[in-house]
Amino acid sequence: MALRSGNLAYMQYSELNRSKPVFVAGHNGMVGGAIVRRLSDLGFEQILTADRSELDLRDQSSVNEWFSSNKPEYVYLAAGTVGGIMANSTRQAEFLYDNLMIHATVVEAARLTEVEKLLYLGSSCIYPRLSEQPISEDCLLQGPLEPTNEGYAIAKIAGIKLCQFYAQQYGCNFITAMPTNLYGPNDNYDLESSHVLPALIRRFHDAKSEGEEIVTVWGSGSPRREFLHVDDLADACVHLMDGYSGVEHVNVGTGTDVSIAKLAHLVRQIVYPEVEIEFDTSKPDGMPRKLLDVSKLSELGWRATIDLEPGIKHAYDWFCDNYSEARGVG
């Protein structure tokens, strides 16, 4: 199934120069991969990437060297150690260390080599656990964080502040975007480390293949989450790179959320309608609700265009087409 996020018109008057080199840090991940696809669709001629084996983004001198040799003009900083609720809560040291280091090295190298513009990607988990909903940008640092992802959130907050301070102190054009929960092609389908949507797709699919009668869903089913297709996110990133140069971070989401129970029913309907669902309340729920206020992004002329149901069907098609590879990721 072809899906297209629709905000194409603005590229006709884009300020971005498509012949300048663009570095997508994290191109092997779901987000970086989607940004590469989007840039390529839009005709960017020099999309630079670096494999982990070639460049350790946690190592400042290697990153400096890479930037000096490759001279990117635009940078999308989508690299990082990421995962779902279980990976986040059991590997907090790794999530904090890796992400702190990656953000710092890339931002510093971008300053040293006078990159024209950098977009840093954070996460909606930066906001306090009990934020007022929908969560506006100014909720940042207004209360305690959700404990299951505190390490990751602190690294992401440090990344935002880093970009803001580099903009203020050095005059760098470094901007920051905060996406909500993401899904789409190239997601991580490993059941221990994945996010909820790929985990549910895999659980229902495997249950169908094995003729099982019950699928287990973690937690109570009552938390609410907002899901943005990664192709929409990639489109929003290019839009912000093109038209936004403010210091304040910008939320990126759809503006609507669903309960995990409702999500499980949707995935069941698409993958295996006959099966029963049970909830395992020994597993953590995480934040009770995480819905972003996207009014700032709307004012900047962007909105999501991929609805959840076709988006899930698209992700499920990708999973079926890449079954062996998808199950090994993570």
Chain residues in the site for ligand GFB (CB under 6 A) = 84-86, 88, 123, 125, 148-149, 152, 181, 194-196, 199, 217-219, 223, 225, 260, 283-287, 290
Residue (157 or 199) nearer to ligand GFB, CB: 199
Residue (25 or 86) nearer to ligand GFB, CB: 86
Q: What is the DSSP track for 112-145?
A: HTT-SEEEEE--GGGS-TT--SSBPGGGTTSSPP
What minimum distance in Å lies between the beta carbon of 163 and ligand GFB? Answer: 18
Residue (111 or 262) nearer to ligand GFB, CB: 262
**Separation CA 145–CA 126 (nearest Å):** 7
Catalytic residues: 152
Residue (72 or 219) nearer to ligand GFB, CB: 219
Q: Which residues of 149-178 are buried (b: 16+ CB within 10 A; e: fewer)?
A: bbbbbbbbbbbbebbbebbeeeebbbbbbb
What minimum distance in Å lies between the beta carbon of 263 and ligand GFB? Answer: 8
| Residue closest to ligand GFB (Cβ) | 84
Token pair of 65 as six digits: 């060297």
What string of H, E and C letters represents the secondary structure of 64-99? HHHHHHHCCCEEEECCCCCCCHHHHHHCHHHHHHHH
What minimum distance in Å lies between the beta carbon of 250 and ligand GFB? Answer: 17
Residue (50 or 92) nearer to ligand GFB, CB: 92
What minimum distance in Å lies between the beta carbon of 260 and ligand GFB? Answer: 5
Which residue, 135, 128, 187, 77, is CA-closest to 294?
135
Q: Which residue carries 């973690």 as its tokens?
A: 218
Which residue, 51, 157, 159, 152, is CA-closest to 106?
159
Q: Which residue carries 């971070």 as its tokens?
A: 249
What minimum distance in Å lies between the beta carbon of 308 and ligand GFB? Answer: 14
Q: Which residues of 135-146 are buried (b: 16+ CB within 10 A; e: fewer)?
A: bbbebbeeeebb
Asked if 145 and 128 touch (Cβ cutoff 8 Å), the reply is yes
